[in-house]
């Protein structure tokens, strides 16, 4: 199986596709599944797919992401797998190989989800009812060396929440010699930046809010600009803190708008929710790690500032018991680096851990039903 995993990884790594364009990737995965005598379910309007293994209605699932990033590599912008999704897909197919060799006490659903990097794929799958019957849902993400040693694995990843917003400031243009006749949107933006610094949350919570882009004015330097566009980046370790940041932002916008007589509008471009790890799912994953590599290589859950679309499933379907495996595979220099690499031999280890966790969840349900 290890040789087969390397062949799959090589193909997926060399054929990346960005969010919502993963049609070739979807076709490749579907072909692999059909060769295993399985019946993948595809969609008419979006890329991605899922497949069921075993008898009955699936109550346990595993989700992988299938998109790549668009970034500059050696001076050329291109699709690039620098977040590990090629490895995640490889492990998902490996898990299917492994499960087919067993007599399962129930059915398992494997989700190949598009558009994780756009924080939109999980929402699309939820809307299509893909997880409605599930009780447990597991995920996986390769981890950088700064978080996890190569060969050590974590039963939970506590990702933070992120909200990316775009906005427009509308003021009044005027001659540079008569600023009192206009409403300078650059000054409004500066006041908004200052107001953001006064949004307070609990000092025990990790959080930040900042303006990351602003565009205003044209070619002439003697005109008071009347329109500006901007972007905001909000981060919080919990969903509650993100709600507090959002409320603070709304108050800041209202205050600055009133002070300057400007109009400020915002739209949410992406909202990534924080992890809501289920303790039963985490315990099952922990036991799977111990059974595979031993207790010495099983770490505690990892608190990480990054975001993950996976957590949207539990956020919108509270009945789901979820956790993500943190696979220690020596990611260097780091996630999203254009030359990111990792120890591919850990992919087979990940397959074994995930397979054991899925079977463990099926057995848990079987015991609970008796």
DSSP code, position 274: P
**What is the number of other CB atoms lying within 10 angstroms of the CB of residue 220?**
8
Distance of CA 119 to the CA centre of its chain: 6
Could you check whether 2-159+275-369 and 161-271 share the same CATH topology? no
DSSP code, position 172: B
56 class by beta-carbon count within 10 Å (0-12 exposed, 13-18 middle, 19+ buried): exposed
| pLDDT of amino acid 305 | 81
84 class by beta-carbon count within 10 Å (0-12 exposed, 13-18 middle, 19+ buried): buried
Distance of CA 22 to the CA centre of its chain: 16
| pLDDT of amino acid 154 | 98
**pLDDT tens digits, one per residue of 238-288:** 999 999 999 999 999 999 999 999 999 999 998 999 999 999 999 999 999
Overall size of the chain counted in residues: 370
| pLDDT of amino acid 216 | 97
Q: How far apart are CA 114 and CA 89, in angstroms?
A: 11
**Phi/psi at 142 (nearest 5 deg)?**
-65, 145
Q: How far apart are CA 144 and CA 128, in angstroms?
A: 33
Contact 294, 110 (CB under 8 A): no
Which residues of the chain are under the pLDDT cut of 70?
A: none
CATH class of 2-159+275-369: alpha beta
**pLDDT tens digits, one per residue of 309-362:** 999 999 999 999 999 999 999 999 999 999 999 999 999 999 999 999 999 999
| pLDDT of amino acid 20 | 98
Q: Residue 281's closest CA among 135, 90, 172, 165?
A: 135
| pLDDT of amino acid 370 | 77
| pLDDT of amino acid 167 | 98
- Per CATH, which fold does 161-271 belong to? Alpha-Beta Plaits (3.30.70)
Task: Report domain extents, the chain.
Answer: 2-159+275-369, 161-271
Q: How far apart are CA 8 and CA 252, in angstroms?
A: 50
359 class by beta-carbon count within 10 Å (0-12 exposed, 13-18 middle, 19+ buried): buried
Contact 135, 38 (CB under 8 A): no
Contact 33, 96 (CB under 8 A): yes
Q: Residue 82's closest CA among 294, 293, 332?
A: 332
Contacts 24+ apart (CB under 8 A), 186-192: 186/216, 186/217, 186/225, 186/228, 187/260, 188/228, 188/256, 188/260, 188/262, 188/264, 189/214, 189/216, 189/228, 189/230, 191/256, 191/259, 191/260, 192/230, 192/252, 192/253, 192/256, 192/264
Q: How many CA atoms lie within 13 A of 174 on its CB side?
A: 14
CA distances from 37 to 5, 52, 70, 120, 280 (A): 18, 11, 34, 30, 33
């Amino acid at each position: 199986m290890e040789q087969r995993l390397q062949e799959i990884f090589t193909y997926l790594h060399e054929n990346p596709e960005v969010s919502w364009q993963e049609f070739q990737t979807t076709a490749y995965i579907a072909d692999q599944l059909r060769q295993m005598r399985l019946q993948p379910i595809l969609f008419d309007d979006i890329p991605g797919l899922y497949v069921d293994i075993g008898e009955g209605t699936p109550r346990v699932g595993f989700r992988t992401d299938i998109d790549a990033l668009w970034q500059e590599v050696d001076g050329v912008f291109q699709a690039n797998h620098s977040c590990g999704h090629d490895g995640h897909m490889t492990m998902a197919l490996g898990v299917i190989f492994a499960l087919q060799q067993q007599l399962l006490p129930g059915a398992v659903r494997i989700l190949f989800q598009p558009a994780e990097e756009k924080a939109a794929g999980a929402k699309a799958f939820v809307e299509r009812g893909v997880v409605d019957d599930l009780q447990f849902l597991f995920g996986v993400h390769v981890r950088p060396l700064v978080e996890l040693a190569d060969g050590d694995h974590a039963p939970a990843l506590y990702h933070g929440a992120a909200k990316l917003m775009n906005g427009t400031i509308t003021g009044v243009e005027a001659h540079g010699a008569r600023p009192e006749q206009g409403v300078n949107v650059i000054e409004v933006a500066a006041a908004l930046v200052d107001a953001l610094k006064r949004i307070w949350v609990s000092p025990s919570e990790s959080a930040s809010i900042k303006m990351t882009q602003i565009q205003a004015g044209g070619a002439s330097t003697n005109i008071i600009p009347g329109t500006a566009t901007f972007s905001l980046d909000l981060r919080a370790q919990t969903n509650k803190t993100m709600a507090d940041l959002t409320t603070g932002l709304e108050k800041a916008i209202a205050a600055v708008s009133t002070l300057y007589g400007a109009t400020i509008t915002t739209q949410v471009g992406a909202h990534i929710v924080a992890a809501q790890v289920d303790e039963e799912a985490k315990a099952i994953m922990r036991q799977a790690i111990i059974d595979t590599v031993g207790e010495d290589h099983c770490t505690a859950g990892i608190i990480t500032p990054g975001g993950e679309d996976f957590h949207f499933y539990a956020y919108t379907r509270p009945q789901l018991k979820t956790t993500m495996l943190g696979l220690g595979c020596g990611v260097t220099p780091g996630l999203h680096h254009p030359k990111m690499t990792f120890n591919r031999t850990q992919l087979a280890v990940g397959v074994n851990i995930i397979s054991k966790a899925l079977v463990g969840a099926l057995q848990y349900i079987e015991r609970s039903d008796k």
